[in-house]
Structure 1
Amino acid sequence: MKLEQTETGFTLSLNGRTILDHSDASPAIFVGYGQERMDMYRGNFDIEDYVIERRALSHTEIDGNRVSLSDASGQSPRLILTLVESAIKFEATDPKLNRLWVRIKADDDEHVWGGGEQMSYFDMRGRRFPLWTSEPGVGRDPTSEMTFKANVKDKAGGDYYTTNYPQPTYVSSALYALHVDTTAYSVFDFRQKSFHEIEVWAIPERIELFAAPTFVELVETLSSRFGRQPPLPDWVYNGAIIGLKDGANSFPRLDIMRQAGVEVSALWCEDWVGLRQTSFGSRLFWDWQANETRYPKLRDKIAELRESGIRFLGYVNPYLCIDGPLFEIADKAGYFATDGLGKTALVDFGEFDCGVVDFTNEAAVEWFAEEIIGKNMLDYGLSGWMADFGEYLPIDVHLSNGVDAKLMHNAWPTLWAEVNAKAVASRNKTGDALFFMRAGFTGVQKHCPLLWGGDQSVDFSRHDGLVTVMCGALSSGLLGNAYHHSDIGGYTSLFGNVRTPELLMRWAEMAAFTPVMRSHEGNRPRENVQLDQDPEVLSHFARMTRIYRHLAPYLKSLSVEAVERGLPVQRPLFLHHQDDRQTYTIQDSFLYGADVLVAPVWQAAQEDRTVYLPHGERWVHVWTCESFAGGAEIQIAAPLGKPAVFYRAGCTNETLFAALREI
């Protein structure tokens, strides 16, 4: 970085590119203070800010690598910037400041990606993105009937920017990346042509900058900064993880699927802890130990599955229901977050109350990692689980570390991931046990071995359906999350919205080209078609699992790249074709590694796909062997069972890919 004084301010450049250009006539840095209103209802938030002061710091004094900013000449500085390597450190000398706005120079034709896991828009340019972990919401489109009904019923509608996993990091098409080191509520505003505005509801510790000559090297750098996942477990490559929550009946149903030719790596029964019935549907009993009434002799069943090469997975989250036996143990030990009166804080999770395990209390961390995940899960025989609900920390609880819960809320998913990783490491099962999370924030990459896309609607909708999973994989993958997957067929079924056989089959086609195939029965299993209820669906799914297993040697090589270089398995087209700017806004197709291009059908009743093939290569259509020159958009047939998939002519694994047409 280079700092240069100007007549009335300064410029800051990175590898010759101007990042900040601050002057009294055109300020780039503003400070102030405000009073926010944050209302939380079951993981959904209604947030607004009343800005009391926003003031440009027009007067600048520079001393070496230190910049003092004040309102005017002769006044004491209110903010001090210090350049340390490739970071800008911030120090507020005015204690009342709790708002910062920074304007980053932008090009008219610049593209930006990242922001954590963004589900609606991969290229963030032209929109404003609040960064706050929450329930994404149902439908995620305020103009839709689905979102309207969800808002009326439960304040649960969401919008294009709501996400389980925000992160104040973006990657620019100008080959640099910017990260804000804060856990506070923040906003990335990319609506202006000449600048990007960063808003933080605190004075952040620093802003970090990264630059590289290629997108690949930039992603490698970011993955090194935030942490890299271990390799995928060897057992994953054997086939799909089958999600069933049917008690003891789950085992014969699994047998039927296997007899139909489904390749299986694991059985995932999130109801291993038992169920309770609510108006939302069947909910799990949030007390994290085996319910052997619902699953008789479960430990023996797990051992039998293991002998046949199939693992068993479960479910856990960082809350304990008040009517379960573990609640009393944690309550007596003081492991829960408290309310304003110093009593255990209780949270309504939809017709049942829970305590919040306080992961800023080291004793609570040790207890949860050892007693619950270690003994009740890993020692019991589980090889993995969904680690759910990291985004739910209430903002009005009191924590052991004394930090305001509003500042801990975004950090909570990372703490939750660390607890899970700690338990796995304690049993020497890192790289073998597989837990997956939907919530995330800065640093979750270091601890969480697998993301999942959250609770999509069981439909083809633009903002909450199948297509959003690809966007989530691409945005999070740029920031060091190498492995991403989703609930095949979606999860949320409300207001009469139910999945169709077509949706289930199209989702499976996409999932065959992702790191992990995993099915889910959804929140209303009896109202939605399941894999084993329709012969056509089951036959189609079995074939997709055979495709997934056939590609295992290639996926293993991508897992090695993830470990050694931090490259994601699912990649935006521009990652390997940065000179082709046509690829910069594509979010409904992806590269599977560097050699395979996948363009899933994501709309109902579609039998073909329009696909852009990057220039500089010849691309071979998997099902017909027809080759196409890159640099053009083509229309290709994509009937059920034959999604639009291409491979690079002459690539190392050409024989492996060509053999797909025989499956």
Structure 2
Amino acid sequence: MAACSLIRCVSRADGFDLLIGDTLIIAHRLDRPAFTVGHGTPDIGSDRGHFDLSDTATWRTDLNHADIRDDLIHLAPNAQSDAMLTLRINGNHIEFTSAGETINRVWTRCEAERDEYIWGGGEQMSYLNLRGRTFPFWTGEPGVGRDPLAAPQNSASTPAHVGDYWTTYYPQPTFLSSRNYALHLDSSAYAAFDFTAQDRHIVEVWEVPAKIELFNAPDLPELVGQLAHRFGKQPQLPDWAISGAIIGLKDGMNSLERLDAIMAAGVHVSGLWCEDWVGVRETSFGRRLFWDWQADEKRYPNLSGTIAQLTRRDIRFLGYVNPYLAIDGPLFSVAADAGYLVLRPDHDQPYLVDFGEFTCGMIDLTNPAACDWFINRVLTQEMLDIGMSGWMADFGEYLPADARLWDGSDPLLAHNRWPVLWAKINAEAVHRAGKTGDATFFMRAGHSGVGQHCPLLWAGDQSVDFSRHDGIGTAITAALSAGLVGNAYHHSDVGGYTSLDGRTRSAELIMRWAELAAFTPVMRTHEGNRPDDNLQIDSAEEILSHFAYMSKVHAALSPYIRSLFEEAAQSGLPVQRPVFLHYQHDPNCFDLQFHYLFGRDVLVVPVIEEHAREWPVYLPEGDDWLHLWSGQPYAGGNWLTIDAPLGAPPVFYRAGSTFAALFKSLSNTGNFA
């Protein structure tokens, strides 16, 4: 991997330039200052993980004057004023210090080019190319109806629960440019990147940040590798996680009988995921879980024995957990009495959060004793010790902005860090049990550095439909954007999760989602929030037969997937990659948001519209391609319309691939038209 260049500061008669390599990033001039400071008072409301943020500016001033001396850049409103902000160039870092505590807002303006593409931002759901829009960074529930032109009518959700194009579980203030550089804002405060102007990008942050980091490379794969190294590469997933499908059922002991029938239909199964191992709670939103993190003996009698029987059949068992405790469960009082919960700002009582018809306290992840207790009492004693091989580590994005924390830290700064702290204690539990590389967990929430702890992301709670901003296509955008900023392994719920406003799964949606999932690192199903109202993979013979076939495809690809894991460990490249990552020379590839490369050698173009039986595909220029199902060759550099019956999504492999024999073995093996 090529080393990142150092930042160069070039003095000008009326300012200075900051460059990384030969790329101009910041151009500061008296009449066009690159830095602004100010003071603001935030107003942050929250409701069940949905946040409403606004800011009242007390004052704001441009720092026009620059005085460069002693390797420092002192910035002031004019030559007669004292410096209000000082910059220090340290390697590839721009370090910030301010003259007083009154400054709590900083804006930095970076140079842009008209035809420049921008990507990253953590896990984005709606747009892969960020140009032309502003992206705030604050972890929370994305909401439904994220497309304002398609917001649900007569919704059971309140307006606060309708999301926007930028709302995400996993924001990260990092972007990559088609100019072969990347910028990372080293801050957990609320931030926003504004890419609406043609000549400048604006980085806003609600504190004086520690630093801005710049990276550059000769090409985009090298740049992505640098970011993966910076944030910490994800631990590799175990072989069992990719050797078949992980079947999600929440039907008590009936799940075991259903699993047998699913396997009898030919599904390759590697795991059974029963999130209801702790019991269920029926709410108006749907079937929720009892958040006390002890096995429900009525629902799963002798769960440890059941897990042992599954293990003997080479089937792993996975559960569910999150960092909250329901007030009507016994563990809440234990944690509250020990001082392990986040407190109210005005008194020494636990901060209670409404999760929709039940209320919970929050484990204080800044308290080492609370973390140790949760690791030992829940993750180890209740889960790993009874034989679980993994779990969904849910939530992590709800911390209120007025909470009081054990370590005294500002909740406005802790909020975005919270998912990373949550990932860390899950990883620590696996490590202490000596099961790193065998047991695994998956998360939806994140911020900078979550990947070094969390081995697998999942795309969260997509709607059970084909909608542009909520449905199946967002799982593709999520994987590609997160992969660019250091997260190699990603997947989604087959069939989606959220069923609201009359939206329910169709058989076609489940089948198209299974086709997508077969070409991701992990193939896992979910029954959704309203399982009784929605079709499941075992609801009809046609669906189950199709799923069985796609699970066989996924299992057959496991040697190739394992090679991608090894590549990720070395280079930091994600398993699912934007096409432009390897075809930067082909301008047609920059706008391919719903195409992706599965490793270097496989091009996947999932069908994400209802009733489509043919689909447009662009084959990148510079390689020849073979259609996976028919073996028919095609030249690169062309748009095609490909037949895409159910069971044969548009997938191609690169001629000359070292895995060509494996890919060829899948040709003509199934067609569900």
- TM exceeding 0.5: yes
Aligned 1:249-398 pairs, distance under 5 A: 249-339=254-344, 340-398=346-404
Once the 2 structures are TM-superposed, how far is the Cα of residue 64 of structure 1 from its aligned partner? 3.9
For 1:24 and 1:203, how far apart are their aligned partners in 2? Answer: 22
For 1:23 and 1:238, how far apart are their aligned partners in 2? Answer: 58
Once the 2 structures are TM-superposed, how far is the Cα of residue 538 of structure 1 from its aligned partner? 0.1
Once the 2 structures are TM-superposed, how far is the Cα of residue 565 of structure 1 from its aligned partner? 1.5
C-alpha offsets along residues 446-486 of structure 1, whole Å, 9 cap, x if unaligned?
10000000000000000010001000000000111000000
SS in structure 1 at match of 2:548: helix
AA aligned opposite 1:106? A
Match of 2:577 in 1: 571
For 2:565 and 2:595, how far apart are their aligned partners in 1? Answer: 20
Match of 1:70 in 2: 76
Once the 2 structures are TM-superposed, how far is the Cα of residue 318 of structure 1 from its aligned partner? 0.3
Once the 2 structures are TM-superposed, how far is the Cα of residue 52 of structure 1 from its aligned partner? 2.3
Q: Is the Cα–Cα contact under 8 Å of residues 241 and 518 in structure 1 kept in the other structure?
A: yes
State which drifts further: 416-425 or 50-59.
50-59
AA aligned opposite 1:341? H
Match of 1:217 in 2: 222
Q: Is the Cα–Cα contact under 8 Å of residues 494 and 513 in structure 2 kept in the other structure?
A: yes
Once the 2 structures are TM-superposed, how far is the Cα of residue 150 of structure 1 from its aligned partner? 5.4
SS in structure 2 at match of 1:228: coil
AA aligned opposite 1:625? G
**Would the alpha carbon gap of residues 165 and 191 (structure 1) be closer, same or farther in structure 2, given more than 3 Å must change?**
same
Match of 1:417 in 2: 423
Gaps of 5+ in 2: 1-6
1:448 to 449, 454, 460: 454
What is the count of residue pairs matched by the alignment?
A: 662
C-alpha offsets along residues 35-62 of structure 1, whole Å, 9 cap, x if unaligned?
1211100000111122222211011100
Q: Are residue 627 (structure 1) and residue 633 (structure 2) matched?
A: yes
Aligned 1:104-183 pairs, distance under 5 A: 104-146=110-152, 149=155, 151=157, 153=158, 155-183=160-188
For 2:502 and 2:626, how far apart are their aligned partners in 1? Answer: 41
Match of 1:187 in 2: 192
Aligned 1:468-507 pairs, distance under 5 A: 468-507=474-513
Q: Is the Cα–Cα contact under 8 Å of residues 138 and 147 in structure 1 kept in the other structure?
A: no
Match of 2:3 in 1: none
1:231 to 232, 236, 243: 236
For 1:173 and 1:148, how far apart are their aligned partners in 2? Answer: 42
**Would the alpha carbon gap of residues 148 and 50 (structure 1) be closer, same or farther in structure 2, given more than 3 Å must change?**
farther
TM-score (norm 1): 0.99
Match of 2:607 in 1: 601
Q: Are residue 656 (structure 1) and residue 662 (structure 2) matched?
A: yes
SS in structure 2 at match of 1:432: coil
1:242 to 241, 244, 247: 247
AA aligned opposite 1:239? G
Match of 1:205 in 2: 210
1:58 to 61, 64, 73: 64
Q: Is the Cα–Cα contact under 8 Å of residues 617 and 640 in structure 2 kept in the other structure?
A: yes
For 1:139 and 1:268, how far apart are their aligned partners in 2? Answer: 28
AA aligned opposite 1:207? I
For 1:287 and 1:384, how far apart are their aligned partners in 2? Answer: 18
For 2:454 and 2:145, how far apart are their aligned partners in 1? Answer: 27
TM-score (norm 2): 0.97
- C-alpha RMSD of the superposition: 1.0
Once the 2 structures are TM-superposed, how far is the Cα of residue 167 of structure 1 from its aligned partner? 0.1
For 1:627 and 1:499, how far apart are their aligned partners in 2? Answer: 35
For 2:95 and 2:459, how far apart are their aligned partners in 1? Answer: 34
For 1:625 and 1:281, how far apart are their aligned partners in 2? Answer: 45
For 1:59 and 1:394, how far apart are their aligned partners in 2? Answer: 39
Q: Are residue 639 (structure 1) and residue 645 (structure 2) matched?
A: yes
For 1:46 and 1:528, how far apart are their aligned partners in 2? Answer: 32
For 2:160 and 2:202, how far apart are their aligned partners in 1? Answer: 29
SS in structure 2 at match of 1:149: coil
Match of 1:27 in 2: 33
For 2:526 and 2:663, how far apart are their aligned partners in 1? Answer: 28
**Would the alpha carbon gap of residues 633 and 147 (structure 1) be closer, same or farther in structure 2, given more than 3 Å must change?**
farther
Q: Is the Cα–Cα contact under 8 Å of residues 636 and 644 in structure 1 kept in the other structure?
A: yes
SS in structure 1 at match of 2:167: coil
Q: Is the Cα–Cα contact under 8 Å of residues 235 and 454 in structure 2 kept in the other structure?
A: no
Once the 2 structures are TM-superposed, how far is the Cα of residue 148 of structure 1 from its aligned partner? 7.0
For 2:251 and 2:490, how far apart are their aligned partners in 1? Answer: 26
SS in structure 2 at match of 1:410: helix
AA aligned opposite 2:295? A
Q: Is the Cα–Cα contact under 8 Å of residues 451 and 484 in structure 1 kept in the other structure?
A: yes
Percent identity between matched residues is 54
C-alpha offsets along residues 403-431 of structure 1, whole Å, 9 cap, x if unaligned?
11111000000000001000000011111
SS in structure 2 at match of 1:68: strand
Aligned 1:92-103 pairs, distance under 5 A: 92-103=98-109
Gaps of 5+ in 1: none
Q: Is the Cα–Cα contact under 8 Å of residues 271 and 315 in structure 2 kept in the other structure?
A: yes
AA aligned opposite 2:325? L
AA aligned opposite 1:198? V
Match of 1:462 in 2: 468
Once the 2 structures are TM-superposed, how far is the Cα of residue 154 of structure 1 from its aligned partner? 6.0
Match of 1:14 in 2: 20
For 2:95 and 2:156, how far apart are their aligned partners in 1? Answer: 42
For 1:564 and 1:284, how far apart are their aligned partners in 2? Answer: 39
AA aligned opposite 1:271? D
AA aligned opposite 2:181? Y
For 1:145 and 1:162, how far apart are their aligned partners in 2? Answer: 14
C-alpha offsets along residues 306-333 of structure 1, whole Å, 9 cap, x if unaligned?
0000000000000000011111110111
AA aligned opposite 2:643? A
Once the 2 structures are TM-superposed, how far is the Cα of residue 65 of structure 1 from its aligned partner? 2.5
For 1:72 and 1:134, how far apart are their aligned partners in 2? Answer: 40
Q: Is the Cα–Cα contact under 8 Å of residues 242 and 523 in structure 2 kept in the other structure?
A: no
SS in structure 1 at match of 2:524: coil
AA aligned opposite 2:283? T
Match of 1:83 in 2: 89
Q: Is the Cα–Cα contact under 8 Å of residues 147 and 157 in structure 1 kept in the other structure?
A: no
For 1:242 and 1:623, how far apart are their aligned partners in 2? Answer: 25
SS in structure 1 at match of 2:479: helix
For 2:458 and 2:229, how far apart are their aligned partners in 1? Answer: 21
SS in structure 2 at match of 1:283: strand
SS in structure 2 at match of 1:33: strand
For 2:172 and 2:603, how far apart are their aligned partners in 1? Answer: 27
AA aligned opposite 2:176? V
For 1:204 and 1:54, how far apart are their aligned partners in 2? Answer: 17
SS in structure 2 at match of 1:256: helix
AA aligned opposite 2:386? Y
For 1:12 and 1:150, how far apart are their aligned partners in 2? Answer: 51
AA aligned opposite 1:630? G
C-alpha offsets along residues 604-652 of structure 1, whole Å, 9 cap, x if unaligned?
0000110111100001111222211111211111010000000001111
For 1:302 and 1:147, how far apart are their aligned partners in 2? Answer: 44
Q: Is the Cα–Cα contact under 8 Å of residues 140 and 147 in structure 1 kept in the other structure?
A: no
AA aligned opposite 1:328? S
Once the 2 structures are TM-superposed, how far is the Cα of residue 147 of structure 1 from its aligned partner? 7.2
Superposition misfits of 4+ residues, deviation over 4 angstroms: none
Once the 2 structures are TM-superposed, how far is the Cα of residue 237 of structure 1 from its aligned partner? 2.6
SS in structure 1 at match of 2:383: helix
AA aligned opposite 1:382? M
